[in-house]
Structures are given as structure tokens and as C-alpha cells.
A and B are shown apart, each in its own frame.
Chain A
Amino acid sequence: MVVMTSLVESSAEQQPDAAGRGRRDNPWLNPMLLSGLGVLALLFVTKWIAPLFVAKKEALIGAAANNMVPAWADPSVTHGFVANTGGHPLGTDGQGRDMLASMLIGIPQTLEVGLLGAGIGVAVGIVLGFTAGFFGGWIDAVIGTVTDVGIAIPGLAVLVVIASYVTDLGVVGLSLIMALFAWPIPTRVLRGQVLSMRERGYVALARLSGASSPSIMFREILPNMLPYIAATFAQTVSGVILAVTGLEALGLAPSRYPTLGSTISDALQGSAIFRGMWWWWGPPVIALLGIFLALLGVTLGLDRVANPRLRGKA
């Protein structure tokens, strides 16, 4: 998650082109950004479309026979696999969860946690980062120190303490916990941005004309920073999803219905790779790959919005 910032931090060095852009080549309509957003939207609407195809309870433990191979595969009896009895196109996992249902429920939930967690984290990052970068001085020092501490303390310790009080975290609970880990890096990145913006001509002009600090921050700087904020957000979503998957892979944050992370965790604990149950570990990995590639597309697309020089380059 930390290394991911290098992308944003380095693009943060670049200056936005404040000059007006022609309506015709609206940078927001670049194919990278659009296809990334499209894929994400498509994955997200499974939340409403999925119930048309599968019953939610099919994703519960013991919903069907264990170890059922996908519809088109041959069962290897020596491995303890069961022939497909129909109704489970992707087969079932080692504990009788229908894989298709698990994916259709897990993908939107994982995305929700990613979006909500990153949303809160970046919102906090905007407030703190802007305040620190804009005011500087002792405010900057305080926020900077708090941010350093936030990065330094191991989040896992915090999570386990919280988990000991809450039985079922749910999407909102999990997102809030993720936000606890997600704010320091956006704060640091956006502070750097604001710092460089502050010295720009139009900000100085606004100051001279007597605009108030909040007005400058939100009227002058924020609009110019939107692409950076969006890119930071996309990266934070990636980071949150990686983190939540990792936590679930360690067996923390359990829930009745599967998530992508819990499916991977179950597959690992059930030795799915060793047993040759590719239909168990494969789908969540492919789903995650899809999500991350879409987010990468969004980040790259936003990069082009923020940095006109990137346009037209490979």
C-alpha cells in the first residue's frame, strides 16, 4: 500500500495545466478512465443483478455437496471431488458453498468496503492534508507528526482489538476499520500537493484580493486538485481492498456470507491449490485481478486528466 503512493507522489510533483481546455477533447473522456470506470460499475451492479440468477443462501456453508466440480469438468474421485449435479455452474468449494453465488455476493461487497473505506480515508486525508499544506507552521508539524504515527503503528494490532468487541463487522464496520489505516498516506500526498499549489500565481492573486483561507482552499485549490484527489482515491481503494483481503486471508473479520478475501482464506486453509481445486481459488483471484486492473485504468486515466503532457503518449 505504501509503495503504491509513489505513483501518486511522483505525479504530485507535476503541475496541472490551469489553462482552459477545449470542449472537444475533454480529458475526462479518455478511454482508460472510461473503461476502468465501466468495469467497476459492471462489477458493482452485480449487487442488484445477482439475485436474479442465484439465491443468496447458495453462498452459505453447506448449501450443496462439498467439492463439486464445475459443470464442464470431470470429477476426480480419488481426490474426493463430486460430479456436478446441475445448478452450480462453477461448482462448489470444500464446504459446499456455490462458487458462482460466492463470487456474485463477494465482489460487490469487497468493492463496497474498498470504496467506503477509501472514501472515508481520503476525506480525512483531504481535510488534514489541505489544512497542513495550506497553513503550514505548527499546524503542519502537528498533523505531520500524527500522520507519521498513523503510518508507523501496526494496524493489525488495532484491528484485533476492535474485532474482539464486535461480533459481526459487516460492510460499514469493516470500512470504518479500513479507513483507520487508509487516511495517513492520502494526507501526506495531498499535503505535498497543496504545498506546491499554494505558491502558484492564482492562489497568491486570490490572497491579495482578500479571499478568506477556506474560500481559497475550497474555491481555488480544490477544483484544480480534483484529478489528483481522484487518483489518490482510486489508489486508496486498491490499497484498502488489498488490506482487507490480507486481513481476511489471515482469518480475521469473519462473516456468514463469503467475501473475496474469505474465499481466498478458505481456499488457502483448505489447501485448494494442492488439491487441484482450481475452481475454488481461481475465481476470487480473477475477480481481484479484474478489480485492480479497472482501478489501474482509472488511475492512469486520471493521470492524463491531471497531466496534459501524458496525453497522446503510450
Chain B
Amino acid sequence: MGLATLLALAGCTSGSTPKTDRSSTVVFDMDQGKPDAVTNFSPYGGNQVNGLIQAVYEPLFITDVSTGKLEPWLADDIAPDAANKVWTLKLKNGIKWSDGEPFTADDVVYTVDLIKTGKILSGSLDVKDVTAHAVDPLTVTLEVDKPDPLFALRLFSTALASKTLVVLPKHIWAQQNDVATFTNYDPKKGWPVGTGPYRLASVTPNTFTYTRSDNWWGVAAKFQPLPAPKKLQWTALGTESTRASAMASGALDVGAQFSLGTYQALKANDTKIQTWQTRPPYGQPDVCGYSLDFNTSRSPWNDPKLRWAVNYAIDRQKLIDVAFSGASKPMLTPFPDFPAINQVTAVTGSAEADRTNVGTFDAAKAKSMFEAAGYHRGGSGVFEKDGKKLTLVIKNFDAAPKNAVTAVLVEQLRQIGIDASQDKLTVPNFVADETSGNFQANLFFGSCGSTTHPWESLNAFNVSHLVSKGEKISGFYANPFRWDTDNAKKYSGVVDKLAQVPPNDSTNVQKLVMEALGYWYQDLPMIPLLNNYQINPVSTRNWTDWPTAANPYVWGLYVSSSVQKLLHTIQPAR
């Protein structure tokens, strides 16, 4: 009886609730399925990708991922002096914060200085060696301690959300007693204040709503007309089924990171669903590929021959078939499948043969390599040496695809005779083990970083990050492999040289990349496994002109500052 009443009540209430006008609202899936604390709206806080950096704040440039070029947005130009030491940043004229204050060079200088103090969580923005000066209201000089031809990529690329400098309004932040605890949220004062065409309108525990501000600076400055959507929402809907159902019913326009099966079911029910490409692997390449990251300082896996043997024991196609139902591609280098990278890393010379070897699945060869290293199969079929079993504990942390890849990998290695197992950790425990070197191998994204230039991924193996045994490294991509051989030193020398080559000198960039890869393949500190393709479905039911592989006006990830360009492009469906 009570239930019937409740249901009846719901029946009328859901009828009387005003429905969101979908022809003027775009609804995005919140990336993590849950917002950070709903009072924290710093563009350097946990909610940054829930609409803040996409709609409220604007980037200085937007990266064209397919060419690696920076397109002007708030800034017009960034150029180095002859020594690649002093970079000059030119801002657009007429930019205003949403509270009417002008956006100036002082704001840029203030932001760089603030990040330098370490008082805000600035992700991977590295400005320790940068000195910023406001030359005039529209000009900033940024001086680096030593020549750095890749400097612009370090601060102004939007290919990775965490590597984009988001400029803060000095007139608000400088007034705060303690910027570290400043939440940048006060609806009465109109905070957060950004330059973007949207303002935060309302916050519920699961949904952030932004409304268009029609006096956006870009119209008066003749930069761009107003974007078409009047309202944007980022909403956390929970499980993948729930999010997929919401897409099918038209309640959600952009989905984040769907599995292939769910995408297929969605597409089968709703022809208005599309994703980055129409053929497998459907999604767009992610910056991070799956890899088996060894701790090369620990016996027995400090032996490159054993790591190569493991590599021959891996059937990548089977990994792809089981963990991604066929929708991925093998990864054979430390680089992601990004167009600008693929151009400079199209492998040539001796590295080509190594690359082919990495992609080879040869169980017999793997076994003979273990035998050559003194291992023999014991009674249980497991390799032994001096009475000790050959074990390999592979650590990872909670995420469905990572678990699947690890589980299949474990079975493949067990078949060859390695006593392999999976150790699934919570994120902090994984961080603790990865940074302190307390692991044999991790199933992770060891060479993450490169988007338009190969240096970032290669630098993840640089001996310059090394710390002494027992000490913690400074982050995920600071040589967690503890790779410290002669090859590693030679490799790092080449990588350091690469950092000094202007990015447009593609001949030299390519030459150095090949040289570095030569050392890298010899030691194989990390076994590259699979590229990662993110399926972020979009619905054309309410909005059209989404970016696709055929029309890649922005890279199809919806968590970066380049979404500004998307907002100015999409149009309501007829």
C-alpha cells in the first residue's frame, strides 16, 4: 500500500517537474562518476574538469593535436628569443573577466608566481625555473633558467588537461589570506570568476550547471560570436549502465569512457549515437597506453633477457580480444597512437627490427630464454632456479580495463611457466608502492606523457629522476622503473639532447628518437602492451557537429580546455 502511494506520488511529480530544455542545454558526463567536494571550484582543484576549465576558464592557446601547433585563444602568440631562454607571450586585446575587470599580463604573472610558491595543487605544471615579467598589459616575458625549446609545450598545450596553464584573476585571488584553502566558490559574489562564455549557475551534489553569459568579452572584441548552447551541465550518474541508459533516453549528450560492449548495445538501440571513428577501435587514442612496468632494480627481473622472455610470452592480440573484445591495437613503442607523434616516431633503421620483435608472440622462444638463464620447469610446471620459483606479482589499481588486461596477462604468463599473480591495490597504496619501488612489475601507464612531441614519454625513463634505494621518486613518470644501467645512461644523454632540439627540426628529432629507442629496446625496462582507445560516445539527437576522426577540430576528449572550441562549434539539431 505504502509502495503504491509512493509510486503514484512519483508518477505525478516526475510529470510536473520542469524538464530541462534540451534544445539549449548540453549535458556532459562527469569523468570520475562523482564530483569532488562540491564547494571547491578552483580550476586547480578536483572539480576542474567538471566544467571549470572547459567552460568558465579559457586557455591561452588550443593545441591542434594532429599537427602539434598551438592555435591562439586568449593569447595571440608565444615566441622564444634566439637562445630559447626568454619567451614572449602576447595577449589578445579586450579580454574581460566575467566581473568586468580587464584580463591583463599581471594576471598571467600572478598565476605563474602563485604556482611557483606551491600553494595550489597545480598538477604537472612545472614552472620552478620560470621568471615571469609583465612588460605591458598585453605582453609577458617568461624567462627559463636554461635554454628550453620545448617550453611552450610545457605550459600551453591543451592536449593534456593537467599541462595547461589556467590564468587566475589576480584581483580576486590576491585578496585571499590563504590561497591554499581558498575554494573560489561564492554564488553571491559571482565566483568563480573566469573569462569564458559560461558562469557557474547552480551546484547540486551530482550536477553542476553553467549558463551562458551574453556579455562575454569575445563578442565585443570580435573574437567569436556567442556559442550556441545556453546552458551546460556536468552530471555524475553513477554506473556505466546508468550512464548508457541516460544516453539512450536522451538525458545525456556526451558519455565518458564507455566499454565497447556497452557502446555497441547503445548504438544498436539508438542510431543517433556516434563516437570518434566508425570502425574498431571506435574510440580516440588516449595519451596513456597499457604497459608492464618493471622495477629493473630487483632480482631476477633486473635481467633484460628475462624481460624480453616475458615479452615473447605475451600474445597481444589475445589481450586485445579478451580485455577489449578486439577493439584496441598493440603498442610496440613507448608512444601513444597520436598523429603528430606517429609522424616523428615512424620507426626506421635497427629500431624497426626491435619493434617487430616486441610485437612477436613466441612461447617456445620465451621458454628457451628462461632455460638459457638457468631456469628449469619444476614439478608443478613452474620455472625454478636454485629451488626458488620464478614469481612475478603484477600490481595495479582499481579500474575495470586494467584488471582485465592484468588478469589475461597473468594467465598467459602462467601458461609459460611463470608463477604470476595479480595484486590489486587502492590508489594510495599503488602510489606508495610505485614511488617507493616496492614492486616487481606494475600494470600501468608507465610512459604516459607525449601528445605532440616524443620527449615527454621518453623522459619518463630518464636517469635524472633516479633516487637512491628506499627513497621515493617524485611522481608517476619520474623513472619508476629505477632504470640505471649503462644503456639507461646513454639513453638519457640522447633524451637530454632531444630536449634541446627545436620541435620543428623533425630530421634531428627523429634521429635522436631512433637512437634513444635503440638503447631502450636493448633493456626493455617496460613492456609496451596495448594502446588505449577511449570510447566517449556523443548523441546527435539534440546537438550536432561533434568532433570525429574525420573532422578532428578538437581531440575527442572532453576533459581539456580545448572543449571551448567545441562549444563554439556544436549546433542544436534541427
A159 to B425, CA, bound (A): 12
Bitwise, A265-276 to B at CB < 8 A (1) or not (0) is: 000111101111
A82, chain B: closest CB distance, angstroms? 9
B321 surroundings in chain A (CB, below 8 A): 62, 65-66
Q: A209 interface residue, CB < 8 Å from B? A: no
B residues 397-417 near A (Cβ < 8 Å) are: 398, 400, 403-404, 407-408, 410-411
Contact (A67, B261) CB under 8 Å given A269-B400, A274-B245: yes
A251 surroundings in chain B (CB, below 8 A): 398, 403, 424
B residues 255-280 near A (Cβ < 8 Å) are: 259-262, 264-268
Stretch at the interface among A72-80, A132-140, A234-242: A72-80
Bitwise, A243-281 to B at CB < 8 A (1) or not (0) is: 000000001001010000000000011110111110000
Please report the total number of A residues contacting B with Cβ < 8 Å. 29
Bitwise, B236-259 to A at CB < 8 A (1) or not (0) is: 000111001100000000000001
B241 surroundings in chain A (CB, below 8 A): 268, 271, 273-274
Contact of A164 among B261, B400, B408, B429 (CB under 8 A): B429
Q: A160 interface residue, CB < 8 Å from B? A: yes
A251 to B397, CA, bound (A): 11
Interface of A is mostly: loop
Bitwise, B313-329 to A at CB < 8 A (1) or not (0) is: 00000100111010000
Q: A96 interface residue, CB < 8 Å from B? A: yes
A270 to B424, CA, bound (A): 18
| Interface contact A78-B421, CB-CB below 8 Å | no
B404 surroundings in chain A (CB, below 8 A): 61, 95
| Interface contact A61-B407, CB-CB below 8 Å | yes
B residues 281-332 near A (Cβ < 8 Å) are: 318, 321-323, 325
A101, chain B: closest CB distance, angstroms? 14
Q: B426 interface residue, CB < 8 Å from A? A: yes
Q: A167 interface residue, CB < 8 Å from B? A: yes
A65 to B321, CA, bound (A): 8
B71 surroundings in chain A (CB, below 8 A): none
B113, chain A: closest CB distance, angstroms? 40
Q: B544 interface residue, CB < 8 Å from A? A: no
B411 surroundings in chain A (CB, below 8 A): 60-62, 256
A67 to B398, CA, bound (A): 23
Q: A168 interface residue, CB < 8 Å from B? A: yes
Q: B422 interface residue, CB < 8 Å from A? A: yes
Q: Which of B259, B261, B318, B400 has the largest number of chain A CB atoms within 10 A?
A: B261
Across the two chains, which residue of chain A brings its CB closest to B400?
A: A269
Q: B423 interface residue, CB < 8 Å from A? A: yes
| Interface contact B407-A276, CB-CB below 8 Å | no
Q: B393 interface residue, CB < 8 Å from A? A: yes
| Interface contact B400-A274, CB-CB below 8 Å | no
| Interface contact B407-A256, CB-CB below 8 Å | yes
| Interface contact B268-A76, CB-CB below 8 Å | yes
Q: Which of B244, B264, B265 has the largest number of chain A CB atoms within 10 A?
A: B265
| Interface contact A274-B262, CB-CB below 8 Å | yes
Contact of B322 among A62, A254, A256, A270 (CB under 8 A): A62
A271 to B241, CA, bound (A): 5
CB within 8 Å of B: which residues of A?
60-62, 65-67, 76, 78-80, 94-96, 160, 164, 167-168, 251, 254, 256, 268-271, 273-277
CB within 8 Å of A: which residues of B?
239-241, 244-245, 259-262, 264-268, 318, 321-323, 325, 393, 398, 400, 403-404, 407-408, 410-411, 421-426, 429
Question: Would you mind naming 8 contact pairs between A and B with Cβ atoms under 8 Å apart?
Answer: A62-B407, A66-B321, A95-B408, A167-B393, A167-B421, A251-B403, A268-B239, A274-B240
